[in-house]
């Protein structure tokens, strides 16, 4: 399984990097929409929605993306509002993690509706943040790569630090394998990558403290996204969100941290102006 994971990652990572650096924003937005909508499809399955309702909800979210693009001609204000909505949702998601049992039983219709709303509030703002970062001048493509590299590095750093030093459980009811030591290792890795990739993206020395602060918040947000997806899987009794990616599970398993981190990074980048 480890060999399969590594081979798959070695194929996916260069493809993703090339797309980010070489594709114009409109084409990258279309490619990202496809990936995010596959993640949404898996999210809906975890909430117990299947058949025609699942397809209808997927199409509605696609139409929402199209409407966002159409209504934002000449202005990115709506994309910025979507990003703010995403940050607000992930702050509320902290409360849901605190009350883990809410929605754990399929018969709770209110909880299911909230999970469906959460799917849109996670997918659409993350996609909007991706477009917003990539469309930024100058070097928007490099800044998007920086944002994603921070999440990837934090995920890998947490994995290796957790295996080597992990003792104290971070959220045992939601994700028993996550540890405080892993979180700290992921944070260190994320900050190192933020400094290196930020330099390549053109950050000035004066902007470095702001970048490191935003990177810290993005890493913490990525952990939150990971934990929230773990909550959905535990409620559904599923190990993975799907089986699309060999050795990695589903698409949602790979983008859960990205969904929460991108709106935070986009908002922070706008505030600090790096």
Long-range contacts from 140-143, C-beta under 8 angstroms, 24+ separation: 140/25, 141/20, 141/21, 141/22, 142/21, 142/197, 142/200, 142/201, 142/202, 143/201, 143/269
The answer to whether residue 56 scores a pLDDT higher than 80 is yes
Q: Which two tokens stand for residue 132?
A: 């917003």
Query: Which residues are within 8 A (CB) of 118 and not within 5 positions of it... i.e. 6 or more apart?
Result: 89, 93, 228
* Confidence label for 9 from pLDDT (cuts 50, 70 and 90): confident
Backbone angles phi, psi at 171, to 5 degrees: -150, 75
Q: Which residues pair with 175 in a beta bridge?
A: 171
pLDDT tier at 108, thresholds 50, 70, 90: low
32 upstream amide cis, omega within 30 of 0: no
Q: Are 45 and 253 in contact (CB under 8 A)?
A: no
Average pLDDT (234-246) is 86
Count of beta carbons in the 10 Å neighbourhood of residue 30: 12
Q: What is the mean pLDDT of residues 227-233?
A: 95
- The beta strand positions in the chain, using DSSP E, are 169-171, 175-179
Q: Nearest Cα to 223, choosing from 213, 233, 231?
A: 231
Res 204: pLDDT = 92
pLDDT in tens, 28-48: 999 999 999 999 999 999 998
Distance CA 224, CA 155 (A): 12
In tens, the pLDDT along 115-140 reads 999 999 999 999 999 999 999 999 99
The answer to whether 197 and 215 have CB atoms below 8 angstroms apart is: no
- Residue 11 is predicted with a pLDDT of 84
Written as six digits, the tokens of 229 are 């997806």
Question: What residues form DSSP beta bridges with 179?
Answer: 169
pTM: 0.94
Give percent of the chain with pLDDT exceeding 70: 96
Q: Where are the beta strands (DSSP E) in 2-53?
A: none
Average pLDDT, the chain: 93
Spatial separation of the C-alpha atoms in residues 83 and 129, rounded to whole Å: 6
Rounded average pLDDT over 160-174: 94
Q: How many residues does the chain have?
A: 274
**Letter string b/e over residues 213-244, b meaning 16 or more CB atoms within 10 A of that residue's CB:** ebbbbbbbbbbbbbbbbbbbbbbbeeeebbeb
């Amino acid at each position: 399984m480890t060999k399969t994971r590594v081979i798959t990652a070695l194929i996916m990572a260069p493809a993703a990097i090339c797309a980010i650096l070489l594709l114009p924003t409109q084409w990258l937005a279309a490619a990202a929409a496809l990936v995010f909508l596959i993640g949404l499809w898996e999210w809906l399955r975890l909430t117990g929605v299947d058949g025609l309702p699942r397809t209808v909800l997927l199409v509605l979210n696609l139409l929402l993306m199209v409407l966002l693009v159409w209504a934002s001609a000449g202005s990115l204000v709506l994309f910025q509002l979507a990003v703010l909505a995403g940050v607000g949702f992930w702050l509320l998601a902290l409360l849901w993690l605190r009350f883990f049992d809410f929605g754990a039983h399929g018969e709770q219709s209110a909880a299911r509706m909230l999970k469906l709303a959460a799917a849109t509030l996670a997918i659409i703002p993350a996609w909007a943040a991706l477009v917003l970062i990539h469309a930024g001048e100058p070097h928007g493509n490099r800044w998007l790569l920086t944002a994603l590299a921070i999440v990837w590095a934090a995920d890998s750093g947490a994995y290796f630090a957790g295996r080597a030093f992990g003792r104290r459980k971070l959220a045992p009811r939601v994700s028993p394998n996550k540890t405080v030591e892993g979180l700290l290792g992921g944070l260190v890795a994320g900050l190192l990558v933020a400094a290196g990739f930020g330099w390549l993206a053109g950050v000035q020395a004066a902007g470095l403290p702001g970048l490191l602060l935003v990177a810290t918040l993005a890493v913490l947000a990525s952990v939150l996204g990971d934990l929230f997806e773990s909550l959905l899987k535990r409620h559904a009794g599923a190990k993975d969100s799907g089986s699309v990616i060999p050795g990695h599970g589903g698409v949602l398993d790979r983008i859960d941290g990205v969904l929460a981190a991108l709106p935070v990074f986009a908002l922070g980048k706008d505030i600090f102006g790096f």
